[in-house]
Amino acid sequence: MILTLKLILTALFWGGTFIAARRVVADLGPFSAAFLRFCIANAALLAIGLRRFGKSLFRVPKTQVIPLLSLGLTGIFLYNVFFFAGLKHVEAGRASAIVASNPVFIALLASCFGWERLTARKTAGILMSVSGALCVISRGNPASILAGGLGRGEGFILGCVFSWAAYSLIGKSVLAHVPPLKAVFWSTMIGDVLLMGPAWHEGLPSRLSSMTPGAWIGLFYLGLLGTVLGFVWYYQGVARLGAIRASQFINGVPVSAVALGVLILREPVTVSLIAGTALVICGVTLTRYPENGRGKTVGSADAS
């Protein structure tokens, strides 16, 4: 019961990251926002990691150095720059519906590399989820994309999808050699180091003094609830329930993001948003669920 509550809260926390990010980017650029988010997260992850692993937290196999650098580049640096840049232009609910299609792109890429078999059920799920994402991106008029209707914000959010797919596929091999918590710690540390220079160049020092309390609250939410608790509780669910059952809870992320966007940001609810979100969730469910009911998915389900 407690684990179920944790997974429900994880979906709620990750849905809330889209709302918090919208608030943060009102005061900060994408590099600065991402850098500060992971400064906060890394401080907490360091404390948790030292308690769990002791000094061995700082030791990783030499063969995993390059893969860990790749995790930091794709899942932390690129994903979060695209995430914050996109949310300057796209409503939180719409962005979450697009990002929710992550698992189908992971499954599609995994099949291209021969790591997973693309079954009829998964193919149907991919087509359904992509259709839903196109419905959300185009506001119910997919033909507008061909006529140049894909906006800058939607392009950035699609960048989130592809960078997280790369992160998840690289992470599949890393997790065979490095415990999940340690892999998360190192990837966030590396990503934050990569973000430091661009954040400084973006003018972070001068912006710190003018940041509003709302932006700081948003950053601590992103760092502690959206990153630390979200990752730890999700991996607890994977360890106890398995990847398939735990990942089903994450279908609640776009639902909570849309609901919170309406309640907190007063974002509009359109037919295309509701229909597209429903298609994405159904498609992701089909893609994740194995043919024999016992298989495993590739990568993490987090997209926050």
Domain boundaries, the chain: 2-288
Strands (E), 239-300: none
Ramachandran region, residue 270 (left: φ > 0; alpha: ψ -120 to 50; beta: rest): beta
| pTM of the complete model | 0.84
pLDDT of amino acid 289: 64
Q: Is 6 helix (H, G, I), strand (E, B) or coil?
A: helix
State the residue for tokens 């601590």. 220
How far the first Cα of the chain sits from its last, in Å, is: 25
- Segment of 198-202, 251-255, 290-294 carrying the highest mean pLDDT: 198-202
Q: Does the pLDDT value for residue 301 go beyond 50?
A: no
- φ and ψ at residue 12, rounded to 5 degrees: -65, -45
**Amino acid at the residue 1:** M
Q: Is 266 helix (H, G, I), strand (E, B) or coil?
A: coil
Q: Does the pLDDT value for residue 257 go beyond 80?
A: yes
Between 248 and 17, residue with greater pLDDT: 17
pLDDT of amino acid 244: 58
Average pLDDT over residues 260-272: 87
- Residue 270: both structure tokens together: 């359109």
Whole-number mean pLDDT of the chain? 85
Q: Which residue from 299, 65, 69 is spatially nearest to 189, judged by alpha carbons? A: 69
CB atoms within 10 A of CB 108: 18
